[in-house]
Amino acid sequence: MKSYKVVEFGQPLQRVEEPTPAPKGSEVLVRITAAGVCHSDVHLWEGFFDMGGGNKVSTQKTMNPPRTMGHEIVGEVVALGPDAKGAKVGDKAVVYPWIGCGTCWYCSNGREHLCPTPRALGVNNDGGYADHVLVPHAKYLYPYGNIPTELACLYACSGITAFSAVKKAQGEDAGKPILVIGAGGVGLMGVRFAKSVLGREPIVADIDPNKRKLALENGAVAAIDPREKDARKQVMELTGGTGVGAAIDFVGGESTSQFGLRALGRGGRLIIVGLFGGTFSIPLPMFAFTGCQIVGSVTGSPAEMKEMMDLVTAGKVTPVPIIKRTLDEADTTLQELRKGLIMGRAVLVP
């Protein structure tokens, strides 16, 4: 099999050819037909996450290079371990990558994506920048119906991440307008799910005029530049002076989260998804004065994955723009994403 691995953090991905693995126990071998390039891959490739104040969290132990990244995977089952059940050779499915240990409290209670000792594909275990991947169990395979293959893979991360984040606004937004911050690949998914889950188009904030234009073309009711001096005023005008019921920050930077917080109406919820990094502060009495909430959101649970895929396969979610690249362009594509040159979502096809 062929793969592109992180051998040294911050250095070009290296092409590796090695024997295709044979599945053991309950494992399933999947021939990859498409794999998304996610912005979190940039941080994993760099080898750290920026925690602000000069503090960084290393991914050395998490990744333990050499490691094949890629957690947005779709493919076809080509071999089964002797104890594998629930799949057959030829099945086509999206692979749920946020796999836990299988025994802790989180895994036992359907919150496998929060497992403290995960086996996530493309992070802790080898993933999708390859032509084959081993999946621990067939329960992590989700049929994708008639959805185009290159689109289907994106629901394994940007899809489930956006869906879970939007779900956290449901019932907490009081039916008011919501704000999506960041119109990158995951943010555009958020725009789509805002319509299908909440029933209304969101306001979008992004510093890139091209991404604002793309957001409007993909369902945003309005798009603003959060750097403008009157940006908050624009949000207030768009919401009749009350502020948004929820702001979903798909960037996760100091300035973006501050903007989201200032855009909230009373009782509003700021949902932080992005991993750009940094810190910000808020006077503690403001929580009581305004009733605001700050919530983190990381990927989504297996149950949310099923709920989302049911929506998607039923045709209730409009697709996002896709850029197709070959697997051999994995490193080039990753670097373009790092530089902010990718519009929409990039997908590698072996």
Q: Which whole-number Å values give the CA distances from 336 to 34, 106, 263, 347, in the listed order?
A: 18, 36, 31, 13
Q: Which domains does the chain possess?
A: 2-157+300-349 (3.90.180.10), 159-296 (3.40.50.720)
Q: Encoding tokens for residue 178? A: 């919501």
Give the pLDDT of residue 344. Answer: 82
For residue 202, what is the DSSP state? Answer: P
Distance from C-alpha of 319 to C-alpha of 238, rounded to nearest angstrom: 26
* C-alpha closest to that of 126 among 35, 58, 33, 12: 35
Distance, CA of 98 to CA of 159 (rounded, Å): 13
Distance CA 60, CA 245 (A): 39
Q: What is the pLDDT of residue 33?
A: 98
Do 113 and 300 contact (CB within 8 A), yes or no? yes
Question: In this structure, are residues 304 and 163 in contact, taking their beta carbons and an 8 Å threshold?
Answer: yes
Determine how many CB atoms are found less than 10 A away from the CB of residue 55. Answer: 11
How far is the C-alpha of 164 from the C-alpha of 105, rounded, in Å? 20
* DSSP string covering 152-178: HGGGGTHHHHHHHHHHHHTTTSTT--E
Residues in CB range of 60: below 8 A, 6 or more apart: 9, 47
The answer to whether residues 347 and 319 touch, using CB atoms and an 8 Å cutoff, is no
Could you count the other beta carbons within 10 Å of the beta carbon of residue 279?
11
Of the candidates 41, 32, 40, 98, the one whose C-alpha atom is nearest the C-alpha of residue 69 is 41
Query: In sequence order, which ranges of the chain are alpha helices (DSSP H)?
Result: 39-46, 60-63, 105-108, 149-152, 158-169, 185-193, 209-217, 231-238, 254-263, 285-290, 302-313, 330-338
pLDDT value of residue 71: 98
Q: Which residues of the chain have pLDDT under 50?
A: none
Residues contacting residue 139 through CB under 8 Å, at least 6 positions apart:
86, 302
Question: pLDDT for 133-158, tens place per residue?
Answer: 999 999 999 999 999 999 999 999 99
- What pLDDT does residue 89 have? 98
Contact 330, 37 (CB under 8 A): yes
Residue with tokens 């040159």: 341
Angle, helices 254-263/231-238, rounded to nearest 10 degrees: 40
Q: For residue 320, what pLDDT is reported?
A: 85
What tokens does 289 get? 């004065």
Tens of pLDDT along 226-259?
A: 999 999 999 999 999 999 999 999 999 999 999 9
Q: What is the DSSP letter of 320?
A: P
pLDDT for the residue numbered 51: 84
The amino acid sitting at 163 is F
CB 163, CB 309: distance < 8 Å: no
